[in-house]
Every structure is written in C-alpha cells, then in structure tokens.
C-alpha cells in the first residue's frame, strides 16, 4: 500500500475493547497457584545453589579454602567469587557459591567454606553528615536567579530539615535464576549453549548482557520467563548470581543450577532506594507564591556515590534557587532504581517544605500548591495540577476536615490532613511486535516483553483485539522469551506506551494485508474496508461484509505476518509522556503512643489514554499501599559500631499489612483532553507523593514537623518530646 496506514485509535466513545475493565488474563493461573515462576522451576537433573556471603561491612579476604567442601557427598561444583585479596565493601557481598544435589547440602556446604578476613574500618550511617568525614563529597553549588536578594525581599521565610531513609525493594520472589551452561551443545557441537530462566524485568536484553560476561554468543543464549514475583526497578540485569550460577552449571558438566538469594542477602545486596536528607529554606509572599528556594542536601546510594535529587521537585521553575548537594559513600549494598527513582525523596523534601511554608504564612496548603502550579516544569501541567488539587480536596472532604496546623482539639488522638504532588514521564520505550493472521482465522501477537503483574498481557491483548475488530479470546498472545521481536525492559513506566504502540501498528499492518486479500471478493478497494465485530466490511455498507473466518480463508495457504515498531518517540494520540498526580492523606496520631493510623487516602492521577481502568486503578492502589508502607514502617537500620544490618528480614523490616492502610480512594483522571494525548505509563507516578502526604498530615495533626520518615512511634514521640537534632 502506498499510503501510510492510519494508526490512530478510534475516538473514546467508539472503542469496544480499549477502555473496558477486563480482568487480568493471567488471573486464573496466579490465583490457583498454577503459574510457574522461574523460582518454581525444576528442569531434569537440576542442582541447588547456595551462597556464602560476607559477614563484614568492610573487609579484605586474606584466604579462602574450599577443599573440605569440594569433597562433601552431593556437592557438584564450588565457585569462588571473592578470591584472596578481594576488598569487600558491604555486608552480604557474595564470597563463594556451591551447587549440590539438594538445597540442604548446598546451604550446609556454603557455610563450611573457610574464609579469613582482615576487617577494615566502616561507615554505614549517613544521617549525621558531620560523621561522614572524607566519605562525603560535595557536588557543587547550583544557583538560579538571585536567591540572596529574593530572600531579602521575601514577605515570609520558612525553614525546616527533613530526612527519608534507605528502604529495600523487598520483592517477594528473590533475585536469582535457574541457569544451564551446556558446553558444546549447539548443532555443530563446538559452541556452548546457555538456557536461562531468570526473575527479570528485562527478558529482551538479558542474553546480550550475559553474553558480554560469559563470552557465549547471544544467539546461543535462550531466555524464558513467564512470571516474575516483583521487581520494582531492582531486576534489570542478569547480575552476578547469573554469572556465578552459569559457572557452577558449567563446572557441574552442564546440569542446570538454581541459585536464588535468601531473604537476608536479598535485602542487603539486591538493591535499595537511596536516602536523602536536607535543610531547606523557602521565601515567598503572603499570598502563597514562592520566590526563593535554598537546599543543602545529602544522601547515600551505597558505596558508589549518588547525589540526592534536585530541588524543588516538579515545581522546578521557582525563579531563585540555591542548591548544594552532597553524596556519602557508605559500606552498604548498592542502590538500584526503586519505583520512580529519586522522586519519592524529591517529593518528600519539596512538598514538606511547601507545607511548612504554608503553615508559616497561615494558608491552606492546597491553595499554596495551586498558587505555585505555574512553576510546574512540564508545559501545560499547571492546569492539570490545579484541577487535580481541587478534585483530590473534594474526594478527601478537605474543606470539612482540614484545620490549620495543630488546631486538632484537646484529645490525645489528633487528626490531620496532608497533601503532596508527583510527576513522571512514562513515555513508551522502543518496542517491536509481530501480528500473525492465519488462513483458519487464528491470530497470534508476539512480543518480547514481560508482565510484572502490571497487566501487560491484558492490555496488549486489548489493543490487538480492538484493532482487529475481534474479541479478547480470539487473540493468542506470546510474551516472555528472547526469540520474540524485541521489546524493552519493564521500567520507568515505559512498557504500556511501548507495547501498545508496537501492537497497534503490527495489528493495523496485518489488517491492511487482510484487506488486500479480501477486497476483490467484496468488490471494493482495500482502503474502503474496516474490521468491526468479527467482520471485514465495506465502510458505509455494513451488509457488504465477510465474517472474520471467511475473510481469512481468502489468504489461501499463506499466513500474514506483519511487524509493528515503535521508536520511543512520542506520537500525538498514540503515545506520550508526562503524568501528574495529587494525593491527600487523612491520618490520626496517638500523641501518647506515637502511633500513626491512616484513616483515608485519596489519589488522583492522569495517565493519558487508559486502556484498562481496572488495571490502572490496581496500579494506583498498589503504589499507594507500597508508599504507605514506606511512610509508616520501612527503614534499613544499620549498626554504627559493628557495621551490621540489623533488620535484613521481614520481621523487623516491616511491610504494611491488610489492616494498616486505611481506606484508599483512587480517582483516574480520565477526561478527553487527557485521552487524546495518547498512552502514558502509570507504574511510578502514584508511588511518588505518599511519604510527603503522610508526613504533612502528621505535622498538621500534632502541630510540629516530624522531620524523618518513617512516621514510627519513635520518630513521632522524639518530635513531641523535642528530641530532634
């Protein structure tokens, strides 16, 4: 066809499948226990792997002796990851690993490996910058406008200090994989072959990364994953455990090896969210307009330096800014992307400082956030924020329930309200999809993506079915292996925009071929045809039609196989970036025990065109619940003296339970003006504002700022007793 096909979606009111609340397609497999995660697999002859980890935060390996373990019955391979001379910079570092016929033997053997360490000095805490010494590195000063003059001219100035700690991803399925390295296994008997069943957010790029490390051609590396038990940004690369697992397999003569982290190392070494601490000063007018912003911030992402995020967040166009950021290198596990990396910290620091400014000038913070929406960095976002602030306030009964800071009555239980904002890009990543239409009418959609539990399977199928005029059950979807057309890793809320666009294009391209095949029978030109309700018909003459089956029979014996590609650039109407959200926490604080309870939590979010509102709402519920958990309970606790991690478990590293989250109200901002922007990702944006909203609500309730998240009884009571530093 000479003309470029029209890939635009039908208008909102004409869509039949997109926009509907379909239940997730993999729901029955998951809720019946039939879904096989990679950590559930047991291919024939599989060996069980186990690690020995460093007990020290900073040490040098002086000797390592595996001889006794090599002789243990059942042990098939031993691999030393940290030979003598290796400097270890965090507790939990992988020292050696064993593969054995049972998991019990593997674990016992790993603990019997003899290692001597020279223990070295450590630094494991960054809450007090004065103690960081040479481990702190200043990142330089950033100045916008004339902050000195702006502070002089300000009608009001507020100051505060704030802190948000390191938290873990705590994926329920730990990091790891089943992996098999078969020497000389390919057809010519010369090249090696690797089969990997990982728990990864990035099936399509896994083989490339692994091939660079193992020197086996990527074409000989087969990757498959059907289900993943959580990633949240921490599972993008094959990691050391894939390389160690593969080497154990090779040493064991090519038997598959299962090597997953136990819970303690999972928390200590498989990624975390960096900390951020700041002293912030704001100047502005008594009408709520902010005119000057000053931040001194620091934080740590582990041993490698990571600067805390820039301030102010989202309202980045404040005219006068001074900012100094400092990074602290700690002897702790390295940071990884954590659902909206940098944004929770940034939102916490910025939105708490704005709330403190509102309290200082005696204004309703909703009005202060609206008064400064003009500073939103993304063009056009100011109106969205004003709309969403009003909408969230309405749903939270803000006008009825909010009171000026601290005016919460004389009882010991104080109720308070807090608001915060968030933003995210969420533009779709590069993606390729193949749509096959067979002469028997069957349809397959093939795409090298993965479903993290976000509903990717379901939304791809919805886009394909809508595009082909079919029902959901008529489309067979294949994802989750690296033989398929490559999609991208699922991170940064980029998946939905990528897969929907490539799927839409592949489906329309395939449909064009089908139109060509059946146009003669309908006495029409291909461009005059449309696919509606399981029929191919002539536009404007619905009685001139073929059923889908009859149309496909016109293909003779040759199937249609068409690709659709998305290059990652925004396409108006199809896919774009730039999402906003406003959230409000309604909390009660027991001033005698320091306990904070969530009464109600409101989240208002836009994400462009919503393919499945049920699944979109689930994303928001999930992000808010994860956020409430971090706002109330979660914190990596390190011991300054011994360098040990004190809570690498799920007993003392607390996650919120079903009774801890209050009542959550989600409002998806589905309006035509948002819809026509195209698809935008939603995984991260709702995970951003929670710590700030809860922190602000606590300050509103008890009349003083509790500087440090999480809002534990200890932190709340310290503040009430005036024990903050």
Partner 1 sequence: MSSRKDPEVPARPNSGFSRRGFIQRVGIGGGALGTGPLEKEAAAAPANVAGPGPVPITLNLNGKPVKLTVEPRVTLVDALRNYLDLTGAKRVCDRGTCGACTVIMGGKTVYACTVLAIDAQGKNIETIEGLATGNTLHPVSQAFWDNDAQQCGYCTPGFVMACKGFLDEHPNCTEEDVKHGLGGNLCRCGTYMGVRKAALQAAKAMKGATKNG
- Is the CB of 39 or the CB of 307 nearer to partner 1? 39
Applying CB under 8 A, among 17, 18, 19, 24 the residue interacting with partner 1 is 24
Q: How far is the CB of 163 from partner 1 (least distance, A)?
A: 24
Applying CB under 8 A, among 262, 390, 397, 528 the residue interacting with partner 1 is 262
Three-state DSSP string of 121-177: CCCCCCCCHHHCHHHEEEEEEEEECCHHHHHHHCCEEEEEEEEECCEECCCCCCCEE
Rg of the chain taking only CA atoms, in angstroms: 28
Q: How far is the CB of 618 from partner 1 (least distance, A)?
A: 5
**Residue 47 near residue 109, CB atoms below 8 Å:** no
Token reading at 593: 């025990």
* 31 touching partner 1, by CB under 8 A: yes
Q: How far is the CB of 445 from partner 1 (least distance, A)?
A: 22
* 27 touching partner 1, by CB under 8 A: yes
Applying CB under 8 A, among 1, 11, 36, 152 the residue interacting with partner 1 is 36
Torsion sign over Cα 11, 12, 16, 19? positive
Q: How far is the CB of 29 from partner 1 (least distance, A)?
A: 8
Q: Which of 363, 362, 357 is nearest to 315 (CA)?
A: 357
Segment 96-135, which members bind partner 1 (CB under 8 A)? 101-105, 108
Q: How far is the CB of 234 from partner 1 (least distance, A)?
A: 11
d(CA 430, CA 487): 6
Segment 434-463, which members bind partner 1 (CB under 8 A)? 452-454
Q: How far is the CB of 372 from partner 1 (least distance, A)?
A: 30
Task: Return the DSSP state at 399.
Answer: H
φ, ψ dihedrals at 213, nearest 5°: -85, -35
Q: How far is the CB of 695 from partner 1 (least distance, A)?
A: 19
- Is the CB of 624 or the CB of 699 nearer to partner 1? 624
- Is the CB of 122 or the CB of 169 nearer to partner 1? 169
* 595 touching partner 1, by CB under 8 A: no
d(CA 73, CA 106): 10
Segment 209-238, which members bind partner 1 (CB under 8 A)? 227-230, 232
* 172 touching partner 1, by CB under 8 A: yes
**Residue 546 near residue 378, CB atoms below 8 Å:** no
- Is the CB of 232 or the CB of 402 nearer to partner 1? 232
d(CA 563, CA 445): 10
**Residue 667 near residue 656, CB atoms below 8 Å:** no
- Is the CB of 248 or the CB of 623 nearer to partner 1? 623
Q: How far is the CB of 603 from partner 1 (least distance, A)?
A: 11
**Residue 93 near residue 331, CB atoms below 8 Å:** no
Applying CB under 8 A, among 5, 7, 20, 35 the residue interacting with partner 1 is 35
- Is the CB of 658 or the CB of 725 nearer to partner 1? 658
Segment 274-303, which members bind partner 1 (CB under 8 A)? none
**Residue 292 near residue 150, CB atoms below 8 Å:** yes
Residue whose tokens read 């009964």: 397
- Is the CB of 280 or the CB of 615 nearer to partner 1? 615
* 173 touching partner 1, by CB under 8 A: yes
d(CA 493, CA 612): 15
d(CA 92, CA 263): 11
Q: How far is the CB of 170 from partner 1 (least distance, A)?
A: 6
* 579 touching partner 1, by CB under 8 A: no
| Conformational region of residue 107, where left means phi above 0, alpha means psi within -120 to 50, and beta covers everything else | alpha
Segment 619-678, which members bind partner 1 (CB under 8 A)? 621-626, 629, 649-651, 655-659, 661, 664
Segment 601-620, which members bind partner 1 (CB under 8 A)? 614-615, 618
- Is the CB of 55 or the CB of 217 nearer to partner 1? 55
Q: How far is the CB of 662 from partner 1 (least distance, A)?
A: 10
Task: Return the DSSP state at 268.
Answer: H
- Is the CB of 221 or the CB of 604 nearer to partner 1? 604
d(CA 479, CA 156): 57
* 161 touching partner 1, by CB under 8 A: no
d(CA 38, CA 479): 15
Token reading at 67: 């001889």
- Is the CB of 160 or the CB of 648 nearer to partner 1? 648
* 544 touching partner 1, by CB under 8 A: no
Applying CB under 8 A, among 50, 97, 115, 171 the residue interacting with partner 1 is 171
d(CA 495, CA 563): 18
Question: Which range touches partner 1 (CB under 8 A), out of 170-178, 206-214, 350-358, 460-468?
Answer: 170-178
* 390 touching partner 1, by CB under 8 A: no
Q: How far is the CB of 515 from partner 1 (least distance, A)?
A: 37
Q: How far is the CB of 582 from partner 1 (least distance, A)?
A: 19
Is residue 123 classed exposed, middle or buried when 0-12, 13-18 and 19+ CB atoms within 10 A define those classes? Answer: buried
Q: How far is the CB of 649 from partner 1 (least distance, A)?
A: 6
Q: How far is the CB of 346 from partner 1 (least distance, A)?
A: 21
Contacts of 642 (CB under 8 A, 6+ apart): none
Q: How far is the CB of 172 from partner 1 (least distance, A)?
A: 4
Applying CB under 8 A, among 26, 296, 466, 562 the residue interacting with partner 1 is 26
**Residue 668 near residue 686, CB atoms below 8 Å:** no
What would you measure as the largest C-alpha separation in the chain, in angstroms? 85
- Is the CB of 14 or the CB of 42 nearer to partner 1? 42
Number of residues that bind partner 1 (CB under 8 A): 63
End-to-end, the C-alpha distance of the chain in Å comes to: 71
| Sequence-ordered alpha helix ranges (H) in 570-670 | 613-632
Residue 302: other Cβ atoms inside 10 A: 23
Token reading at 710: 């999480």
Q: How far is the CB of 409 from partner 1 (least distance, A)?
A: 25
Strands (E), 285-341: 290-299, 321-328
Q: How far is the CB of 229 from partner 1 (least distance, A)?
A: 3
* 71 touching partner 1, by CB under 8 A: no
- Is the CB of 26 or the CB of 127 nearer to partner 1? 26
Three-state DSSP string of 330-369: CCCCCCCCCCCCCHHHHHHHHHHHHHHHHHHHCCCHHHHH
- Is the CB of 201 or the CB of 295 nearer to partner 1? 201
* 263 touching partner 1, by CB under 8 A: yes
Residue 189: other Cβ atoms inside 10 A: 8
Token reading at 635: 């914190």
- Is the CB of 89 or the CB of 588 nearer to partner 1? 588
- Contact residues: partner 1, CB under 8 A: 23-24, 26-37, 39-40, 42, 44, 46, 48, 73-74, 101-105, 108, 170-174, 227-230, 232, 262-263, 452-454, 614-615, 618, 621-626, 629, 649-651, 655-659, 661, 664
């Amino acid at each position: 066809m000479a003309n470029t096909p029209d890939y635009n979606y039908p208008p909102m009111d004409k869509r039949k499948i997109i926009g509907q609340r379909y239940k997730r397609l993999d729901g029955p497999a998951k809720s019946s226990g039939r879904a096989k995660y990679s950590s559930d697999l047991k291919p024939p002859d599989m060996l069980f792997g186990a690690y020995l980890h460093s007990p020290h935060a900073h040490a040098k390996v002086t000797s390592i002796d595996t001889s006794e373990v090599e002789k243990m019955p059942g042990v098939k391979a031993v691999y030393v990851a940290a030979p003598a001379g290796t400097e270890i910079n965090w507790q939990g570092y992988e020292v050696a690993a064993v593969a054995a016929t049972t998991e019990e033997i593997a674990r016992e053997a790993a603990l019997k490996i003899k290692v001597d360490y020279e223990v070295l000095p450590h630094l494991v805490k960054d809450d007090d910058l004065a103690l960081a010494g040479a481990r702190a590195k200043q990142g330089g000063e950033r100045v916008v406008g004339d902050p000195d003059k702006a502070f002089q001219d300000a009608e009001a100035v507020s100051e505060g200090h704030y802190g948000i700690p390191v938290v873990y991803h705590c994926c329920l399925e730990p990091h790891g994989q089943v992996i098999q390295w078969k020497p000389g296994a390919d057809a010519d008997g010369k090249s090696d072959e690797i089969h990997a069943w990982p728990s990864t957010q990035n099936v399509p790029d896994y083989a490339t990364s692994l091939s660079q490390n193992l020197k086996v051609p990527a074409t000989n590396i087969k990757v498959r994953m059907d289900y993943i038990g959580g990633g949240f940004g921490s599972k993008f690369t094959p990691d050391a455990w894939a390389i160690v697992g593969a080497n154990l397999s090779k040493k064991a003569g090519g038997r598959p090896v299962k090597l997953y982290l136990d819970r303690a190392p999972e928390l200590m070494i498989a990624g975390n969210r960096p900390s951020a601490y700041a002293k912030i000063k704001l100047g502005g007018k008594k009408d709520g307009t902010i005119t000057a912003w000053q931040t001194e911030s620091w934080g740590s992402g582990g041993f490698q330096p990571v600067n805390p995020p820039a301030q102010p967040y989202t309202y980045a166009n404040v005219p006068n800014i001074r900012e100094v950021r400092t990074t602290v290198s700690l002897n702790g596990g390295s940071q990884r992307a954590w659902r909206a990396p940098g944004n929770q910290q940034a939102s916490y620091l910025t939105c708490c400082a704005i709330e403190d400014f509102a309290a200082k000038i005696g204004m309703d913070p909703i009005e202060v956030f609206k008064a400064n929406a003009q500073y939103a960095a993304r063009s056009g976002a100011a109106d969205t924020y004003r709309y969403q602030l009003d909408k969230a306030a309405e749903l939270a009964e803000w006008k009825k329930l909010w009171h000026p800071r601290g005016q919460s009555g004389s009882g010991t239980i104080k109720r308070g309200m807090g608001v915060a904002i968030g933003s995210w890009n969420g533009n779709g990543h590069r993606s390729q999809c193949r749509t096959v239409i067979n002469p028997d009418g069957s349809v397959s959609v093939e795409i090298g993506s993965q479903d993290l539990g976000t509903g990717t399977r379901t939304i791809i199928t919805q886009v394909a079915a809508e595009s082909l005029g079919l029902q959901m059950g008529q489309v067979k979807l294949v994802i989750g292996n690296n033989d398929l057309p490559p999609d991208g890793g699922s991170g940064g809320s980029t998946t939905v925009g990528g897969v929907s666009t490539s799927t839409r294009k592949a489906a329309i391209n395939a449909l064009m071929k089908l139109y060509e095949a059946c146009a003669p029978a309908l006495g029409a030109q291909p461009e005059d045809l449309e696919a509606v309700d399981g029929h191919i018909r002539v536009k404007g003459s619905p009685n001139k039609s073929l059923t889908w089956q009859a149309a496909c029979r016109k293909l003779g014996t040759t199937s249609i196989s068409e690709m659709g590609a998305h290059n990652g650039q925004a396409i108006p109407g199809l896919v774009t970036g730039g999402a906003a959200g406003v959230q409000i926490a309604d909390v009660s604080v027991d001033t005698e025990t320091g306990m904070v309870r969530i009464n109600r939590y409101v989240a208002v979010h836009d994400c462009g065109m919503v393919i499945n509102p049920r699944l979109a709402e689930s994303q928001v519920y999930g992000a808010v619940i994860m956020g409430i958990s971090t706002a109330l309970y979660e914190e990596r606790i390190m011991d300054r003296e011994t360098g040990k991690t004190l809570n690498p478990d799920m007993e003392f590293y607390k996650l919120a339970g079903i009774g801890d989250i209050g009542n959550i109200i989600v409002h998806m901002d589905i309006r035509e003006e948002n819809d026509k922007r195209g698809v935008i990702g939603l995984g991260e944006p709702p995970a951003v504002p929670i710590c700030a909203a809860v922190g602000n609500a606590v300050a509103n309730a008890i009349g003083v700022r509790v500087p440090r998240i999480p809002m534990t009884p200890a932190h709340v009571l310290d503040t009430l007793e005036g024990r903050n530093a």
